[in-house]
Structure 1
Amino acid sequence: MKTNRLNLVLILTSMTLLGACAEEEKKENLAMTDKKEQIQQNSEDLPKELVAEPVTQAEAVEADAKGEVTMKGSIFYKDLEGGFYAFIAENGDRYTLHGLDETYQKNGLIVEVKGTPKPDLMTFTQFGTVLQVTSVKVLDTSKVIDSLPTK
């Protein structure tokens, strides 16, 4: 008789535990369903496919050329870090010239320079903004100093 009671208690306990586990599993399934719905709703806002739009070299050059400026001023030779040619515009802005043709490398030359400022480019000269020269027009040669100091 004692074994029957013990078996009955074990059966009732097992059924209670199984019922509690089944209830817990239902809650987890509901939580997972909610998470899936949230992910689906959020994914509707995201693009379905990433598409790279190629840019031709001509378009890149054209976009870069939009930042091109034309200024009048003087070219000066600066004896720093091996020497370089600087440009001081009429408004006082200072530039380090990159790509300046040897023809125009004259201390005191007054010119009209066309080029693209490169404010993110760093140099040893630390003389204003770097200007990538595209064209130069000579305005006055009367102030050119031919004799540059040499070491």
Structure 2
Amino acid sequence: MSASKVSITSLILVSAMLSGCGEKTEKEESTLNSSTEMSQDNQSNLSDDKNTQESTTSANDKVTELGLSDDMQELKSDKSKLLTLKGQVLFQEFEGGFFGFIDENGNKYTPIGMDKKHLRHGLVIELSGRVIPDMITTTQFGEAIKVESVSIIDESNAAELGRPELTKKDI
């Protein structure tokens, strides 16, 4: 009897091991099948991306052909050269308040490194500086410009030094 128990037990163990090997093979096959499907999906996605890029390129070509309207200025590719701008320093109330610079053409700049004595709302100045490309400030008020020099043109309408005080008229 003990021999039959051993043979039954060993028979069960052998069949369990063989069935485990069979499951492993099925798992490997399913993994291979799914990886093949994924590579085919990736190839189709790549061809879709190429089609999208081609359509985007053709759309960009159409926009380029139209050109700039009269009120738009063409951006210069070399933004590191020294700019000399005439305009006005203005205190902006939003984002907690900050000083911005608006030139004669209406272009907005965030002056970086301007001397505090020139931070007066309404001060008309000539500013020399270099645009800092790809810089985003917390104010997001136009382009950031590293100020190198400032000369005052008109200070007759300029506020006192520092942050202007609000009046009831302003609110």
TM-score (norm 2): 0.47
Q: How far apart are the structure 1 equivalents of 2:126 and 2:95?
A: 26
1:65 Cα offset (Å):
9.5
Q: How far apart are the structure 2 equivalents of 1:116 and 1:84?
A: 20
* Residue 149 (structure 1) aligns with: 165
Q: How far apart are the structure 1 equivalents of 2:131 and 2:149?
A: 13
The reply on whether 1:79 has 2:98 as its aligned counterpart is no
Q: Deviations over 1:83-102 (max 9, x none)?
A: 22100000111101110101
* Residue 115 (structure 1) aligns with: 129
TM-score (norm 1): 0.53
Q: How far apart are the structure 2 equivalents of 1:88 and 1:129?
A: 10
* Residue 106 (structure 1) aligns with: 120
Give the paired residue count. 87
Q: How far apart are the structure 1 equivalents of 2:133 and 2:80?
A: 15
Q: How far apart are the structure 1 equivalents of 2:82 and 2:140?
A: 21
Q: How far apart are the structure 2 equivalents of 1:65 and 1:90?
A: 19
1:66 Cα offset (Å):
5.3
* Residue 136 (structure 1) aligns with: 150
1:78 Cα offset (Å):
1.2
Q: Secondary structure at the match of 2:95?
A: coil
* Residue 83 (structure 2) aligns with: 69
Q: How far apart are the structure 1 equivalents of 2:109 and 2:79?
A: 18
Gaps of 5+ in 1: 1-63
How is 1:1-16 mapped onto 2 (pairs within 5 angstroms)?
A: none
The reply on whether 1:95 has 2:114 as its aligned counterpart is no
Q: How far apart are the structure 2 equivalents of 1:82 and 1:103?
A: 20
1:136 Cα offset (Å):
0.2
Q: Deviations over 1:23-78 (max 9, x none)?
A: xxxxxxxxxxxxxxxxxxxxxxxxxxxxxxxxxxxxxxxxx995110010000111
Q: Percent identity?
A: 38
Q: How far apart are the structure 1 equivalents of 2:133 and 2:97?
A: 20
Amino acid at match of 1:104: H
